[in-house]
Amino acid sequence: MEPKTLLDTDVLSGLMRKTPAALNRARSYLTDHEQLTISLVTRFEILRGLKAKRATAQLAAFDSFCTNNEVLPISDRTIVRAADIYADLHFRGQLISDADILIAATALENGLVMATNNLSDFGRIASLRIDNWLG
């Protein structure tokens, strides 16, 4: 059984673009799990891009995706974990974007594996388990 996984924005974008590697992994994952899981930050990142392009049909499809799958909120515990991650990365001189820190904190707080192709950034975060769905 595949462990429960949080999809990063790049993986979700791959699914929306029907990238074969992402579609195959999602199909396999859904044999063990009822839904895909994203963070609220990923919802924001996808929404802002679609709205900026005025992509009405894609917005409707994404809203349907979010209704039928799990969108994890940002809890206070997630914020505290994100601040800890930021402090560690700052101390080591290896900062990444706040959005990626919040997504990683969501995965860690919920005990989830992070599905991403962004290994260079997410790989800097201690104890974050990563699975590349696009590689």
The pLDDT value recorded for residue 8 is 98
Collect the ranges in the chain with pLDDT lower than 50.
Answer: none
DSSP strands (E only) in 1-135: 5-7, 37-39, 70-72, 113-115, 130-131
The pLDDT value recorded for residue 135 is 86
Q: How many domains does the chain have?
A: 1
Number of H helices, E strands in the chain: 7, 5
* Prediction pTM value: 0.96
Domain that holds residue 10: 5-131
* Tens digits of residue pLDDT in 73-97: 999 999 999 999 999 999 999 999 9
Can you give the CATH number for the domain in which 43 is found? 3.40.50.1010
Give the other-Cβ count within 10 Å of 40's Cβ: 17
Alpha carbon distance 75, 82 (integer Å):
11
